[in-house]
Structure 1
Amino acid sequence: MLNIMELQQILPQEYPFLLIDRVLELDEGKRIVAIKNVTANEHFFVGHFPGLPVMPGVLILEAMAQTAIVLYAKTKHVDKNMVRYYFAKAEIKFKAPVVPGDVLQIEVEAEKMLSTGGILKAVASVEGKTVAESVIGFSVKNIREDKT
């Protein structure tokens, strides 16, 4: 549905911090499913952990947040150069490790979507097994109005 080139036009993050590779499903205003192909040569595996590579939980959360941004941006038709996203709430539970060779699937559902932000539920899974669950709250500010 959306490939990496299209995601680069939507997300403010850039390599090496772009943490989703493709959107598989998108129902604007409601739901999105994205994937991250986790490879052995990811930069974060260098030190996390030597001899036992595990994707850091904070980066799983970041992948969830990026997926949420895509859902919001596609729903509200937002230009990435015109807004800033502020994630203020993230309740997350980690259930299993993510390792090289895994395909991390992220499903995000909108609980509330406003012009100024939203609250979303996110579930990350590998081969159908839940590895993390989160509730994410964020606000959106127009760059012209944002003085921070």
Structure 2
Amino acid sequence: MEPPPTAPNPLDSLPHGPEFRFVDAIVELEPGRRAVGTYLLKGSEDFLRGHFPAQPILPAVIMVEAIAQVAGVALQSDSQIPAMPDLRLTAIRNVKILGTAVPSETLQIEATIQGRMGNLVQAAGSVRVGDRLIAEGQVTMSGGSKEPVLAPTA
């Protein structure tokens, strides 16, 4: 008797390797609409060694990236809409950093898809530690062909 098939891991829909994922698990998912993920700031992450050596805190840009990653999971999880290959963060708006996270804290990252037009998607998101809102803002992502991006010529 074969074991039942396991559901695919929603994080596998992201283009990032595990070394650049700032989401450990998806804990809520409304395919194509909304997702909530968690990330434990372990303290062993390489970026914490320099940010800041005596008092490490999570860099704000990583909070924004985490929002984009959770939004990407929400977007790519809708089986009724074709997946967007090569999904990338292309813009951020109205981002506010309202607090910090330190090692041993667990972040709760929420993202809600606000709209999609062609290969552009906008989402709103937030990052919390417990009841504390530490970041919020909007991200725009795009995806499309896997054609190589050409560097400008001089």
Note whether the superposition's TM-score is higher than 0.5: yes
Higher strand share: 1
List aligned pairs for 1:1-148, cutoff 5 A.
6-75=9-78, 76-78=81-83, 82-144=85-147, 147-148=149-150
Is the 8 Å Cα contact of residues 109 and 122 (structure 1) preserved in structure 2? yes
Cα separation, partners in 2 of 1:147 and 1:7, compared to 1, 3 Å:
same
Is the 8 Å Cα contact of residues 57 and 100 (structure 2) preserved in structure 1? yes
In the superposition, the TM-score normalised over structure 1's length comes to 0.85
Cα separation, partners in 2 of 1:42 and 1:101, compared to 1, 3 Å:
same
1:88-136 CA distance string (max 9 Å, x none) = 2333100011110111101111111344121111010000210000111
Deviation at 1:8, TM superposition (A): 4.9
Identity %: 26
Cα separation, partners in 2 of 1:86 and 1:50, compared to 1, 3 Å:
closer
Counterparts of 2:15 and 2:104 in 1: how far apart (Å)? 26
Cα root mean square deviation, aligned? 1.9
1:32-83 CA distance string (max 9 Å, x none) = 100111111111111110110001000111111111111111123527xx43
Is the 8 Å Cα contact of residues 8 and 14 (structure 1) preserved in structure 2? no
Runs of 4+ in 1 over 3 A off after TM superposition: none
Counterparts of 1:84 and 1:120 in 2: how far apart (Å)? 13
Cα separation, partners in 2 of 1:8 and 1:70, compared to 1, 3 Å:
closer
What amino acid is aligned across from residue 83 of structure 2 in structure 1?
A: V
Larger Rg, first or second structure (1 or 2): 2
Counterparts of 1:29 and 1:8 in 2: how far apart (Å)? 14
Could you tell me which runs of 5 or more consecutive residues in structure 2 were left unpaired when the two chains were aligned. Answer: 1-7
In the superposition, the TM-score normalised over structure 2's length comes to 0.82
Could you tell me which runs of 5 or more consecutive residues in structure 1 were left unpaired when the two chains were aligned. Answer: none
